[in-house]
Amino acid sequence: MTAPREPGWQRLDPRMLAVTPLRQLVGFLPFIVVVLVIGIGQDLGGRLYGLLTGVLIVLLAGMLRWFTTRFRITSDRVELRSGLLFRSARSVPRDRIRSVDVTAGLAHRLFRLSVVKIGTGERTDSGESRELTLDAISSVEADRVRQRLLDPADAAQVESSGVTVAPAANELAALKWSWLRFAPLTTSSLVALGAVAGTFGQLISDVGADAVDVGGVRERLTTAPLWLGLAVLAMLVLMVALVGSVLIFVESWWGFRLVREPGGTLRIRRGLLTTRSVSLEERRLRGIAVVEPPLLRVGRGARTVAVATGLGGRRGHGRGILLPPAPRSEAHRVSGAVLCEYPSPTAAALLRHPPVALRRRVVRATLPVLAGSVGLWVAPVPAWTGWAALGLLPVTVLLAVDAYRNLGHALTSRYLVTRYGAGARSTVALQRSGVIGWTVSQSLFQRWAGLVTVTASTAAGHGGYPVIDVPVADGLAIAERAVPGLLVPFLQHDAVVAARTH
Amino acid sequence: MTAPGTQPATSEPLRLRPPRHRVSPRAITWWTTQAALEVAAVLAPLAVAIVVWTEARPWLIPITVVVVVIGLGYLLVMPRWRFRVHRWETTDDAVYTSAGWINQEWRVAPMSRIQTVDTERGPLQQLFGLATVTVTTASAAGALRLAGLDHVVADDLVEQLTETTQATPGDAT
């Protein structure tokens, strides 16, 4: 920590002195408006002074943050000190750094600043991710910090003079605007609906109107035919979902590029208003998943998600996303490009699971529905509820058949590939060298059917990826072949046992 | 079930052999006590209701009888079944466990991937001289739990595992 070549402590960018108050004022705007509007006719002066002191205190606190915050990057750690009354000092060893993300919101971009988040991927019990945030430094400096922290050679070598010219990066994927057609098929359409409904409700309650009778809607509703009202409502909902999801897509994925940088880093850059840059070290990569949520799957679209360690558990789940919703073939192509495997293991021909797995799924889909229907018929409720419950049967059976058809697995020279899911479908290619253990589980019904579920444990992603419902011998053979030697001491051939006893 | 690049399936069916060591026989008592407490927790409110709420007795008493029968069955079957299934073994390279009763699970973790080894002794386990050893790896999908070991055996195991894993370099991911 006292090596002579190490640069001293640095402050955040002085432009933060302008950005912080600006952002805080914008945040305060609704509050100020409310106080002023409601305050009219009452003690306006008093309110104004109260407001002003409040705003002033917050502004001062924001400025104080700049004066008290210092950081430095040495050859073996990153340190951040901040606070006046409550001092905090954070220090992260360089070899624990798993990710360096750079984001810039509107206010930051106006002043050419960027926020750098240095993640260690630790999973603390409280679920809080131990990140170190530099909010903010100039965008040029941010990029330099990012490159320095992710370059494994940097920690060893003496500080190079000036900015090193980075060698050309290799582009793996870039946005095609035809992918916009997948936007309405994602959950962002629901987000848009929720946002509009929320704002609308807020507006109504703010204006103080009776939500049920705005502008005599009730009267018009009773005179107009019901189907017309429903049709108009449905159209409205559809429009909002469509437009909203397209807007969200454009904001999130504008200028999307996935590149492989020299030094073994995958970098995703995207964003229209807020720009984001996520960097992922390739040596943290344990595999890749092609995920097809139900709607996207209907439109023959898919996402590509990295299975990597140090993404910060469930909270960091979105950080592994390598591709916007895109055609399935593109998702597989990018998977292959990221793994440097052609063709992609995610597109490998998979082995089907035995028909008894289909039987299990159909039974599981049928019995609860039948039991529910019978229950409703016996219970003191109208008989049609029982019939309605029975009407679910085709849906659940279809899902069961789909779940069976999705089951599959394969072993390639370097990857274990498994596919599963009902409605939604996931195809995961896991590095065989990234498997850190096995779990073989068998329920009572699986035992009767002679099946097992073999789960490969890994330090990345969900922590384990299952090969569901395979015959016992096949499941164990997969595990043994995928990681030779690990399972062998615990396996036995039934015939060998028989021979020994003779 | 043969794919290109894989060996042909062997003619003899492959299966997992049970791990070498059983857990302590006192684990049966421990599991029985636990089950008894669980059953009692269900029965107590029912008993109170039968005493207090006289008009409900015609349907409360049959329910209670059913609960008692199921509870007794659980109490008698579960601990013995578990004792037959719960086993563990360590080799120079791996930890191997089996657990469960109706649903069973076998887990293997290589020594080189073990991150922490913990011992845990609840009040009941202390009473019966037992301990649970938890072996965690970097995987978020769950640790290997060796429940109901004799506490002396557990201490030795923890010591042995800690020594082995400390000798292994790397961050085990």
What is the number of H-type helices and E-type strands within chain A?
15, 21
At residue A181, what is the residue type? R
Q: What is the pLDDT of residue A336?
A: 94
pLDDT value at position A10?
A: 86
Substitution target from A430, A439, A446 for chain B, most B beta carbons within 10 A: A439
Is B3 near chain A, with CB under 8 Å? yes
Chain A touched by B104 (CB under 8 Å): yes
The ipTM of this complex is 0.86
User: Nearest by CB to B108, which of A462, A487, A492?
Assistant: A487
* Listed residue (A333, A307, A343, A331) closest to A434, CA to CA: A307
B1 vs A: CB within 8 A: yes
pLDDT for the residue numbered A205:
67
In three-state secondary structure terms, A74 is coil
* Residue A129 near chain B (CB below 8 Å): no
Q: Are A493 and B7 an interchain contact pair (Cβ–Cβ within 8 Å)? A: no
Ramachandran quadrant class, B142 (left: phi over 0; alpha: psi -120 to 50; beta: rest) = left
Task: Please say if the pLDDT value at position B134 is more than 80.
Answer: yes
**CA atoms of A183 and A255, how far apart (whole Å):** 16
Check residue B7 and give its pLDDT. 43
Q: Which of A251-255, A382-386, B26-30, B163-167 has the lowest mean pLDDT?
A: B163-167
Backbone angles phi, psi at A104, to 5 degrees: -145, 115
Mean pLDDT, all residues of chain B = 86
Residue numbers in chain A where pLDDT is lower than 70: 1-7, 35-45, 47, 121-130, 152-168, 203-224, 312-318, 494-502
Closest Cα to residue A260, out of A170, A339, A144?
A: A170
Task: Please write down the long-range contacts of B128-134, taking CB distance under 8 Å and 24 or more positions apart.
Answer: B128/B26, B128/B27, B128/B29, B128/B30, B128/B33, B129/B24, B129/B26, B130/B24, B130/B26, B130/B27, B130/B30, B130/B154, B131/B155, B133/B157, B133/B158, B133/B161
Reported as half-sphere exposure (CB side, CA atoms, 13 A), residue B144 has a value of 33
Which residues of chain A are within 8 Å of residue B12 when distances are taken between CB atoms? Answer: 493-496
Taking contacts as CB-CB distances below 8 angstroms, the residues of chain B near A411 are 3, 5-6
A319 vs A260: CA distance, rounded Å: 16
pLDDT in tens, A132-169: 888 888 889 998 888 888 876 665 444 444 444 555 67
Tell me the β-bridge partners of B144.
B135
Backbone angles phi, psi at B97, to 5 degrees: -135, 155
Q: Using an 8 Å Cβ cutoff, are A7 and A159 in contact?
A: yes
The beta-strand segments (E) located in A120-200 are 131-138, 170-174
- Residues from chain B that touch A444, judged by Cβ atoms under 8 A, are 102-103
Q: What tokens were used for B145?
A: 């739990």
Closest Cα to residue B164, out of B106, B96, B107, B91? B91
Q: Do A351 and B3 touch (CB under 8 A)?
A: yes
Q: Tell me which amino acid residue B25 is.
A: P
Cβ of B159 under 8 Å from any chain A Cβ?
no
User: Which residue bears the tokens 């606190």?
Assistant: A61
pLDDT digits (tens, 9 = 90+) for A197-218: 877 777 666 655 554 555 555 5
Stronger pLDDT, B53 or A83, i.e. the higher one: B53
In this model, does residue B92 exceed pLDDT 80?
yes
Which pLDDT belongs to residue A214?
53
Q: Is A20 left (phi over 0), alpha (psi -120 to 50) or beta?
A: alpha
For the sheet with A301-308, list strands across it: A326-327, A301-308, A285-292, A425-431, A415-420, A408-411
Helix (H, G, I), strand (E, B) or coil at B110: strand
- Split at pLDDT 50, 70, 90, the class of B170 is low
pLDDT score recorded for residue A210? 52
Q: How many CB pairs under 8 A join A and B?
A: 137
**Rounded CA separation A135/A23 (Å):** 13
Distance of CA B126 to the CA centre of its chain: 17
pLDDT of res. A26: 80
Q: Does B110 touch chain A (CB under 8 A)?
A: yes
Q: For residue A156, what pLDDT is reported? A: 47
- Answer positive or negative: Cα dihedral of A144, A147, A150, A153: negative
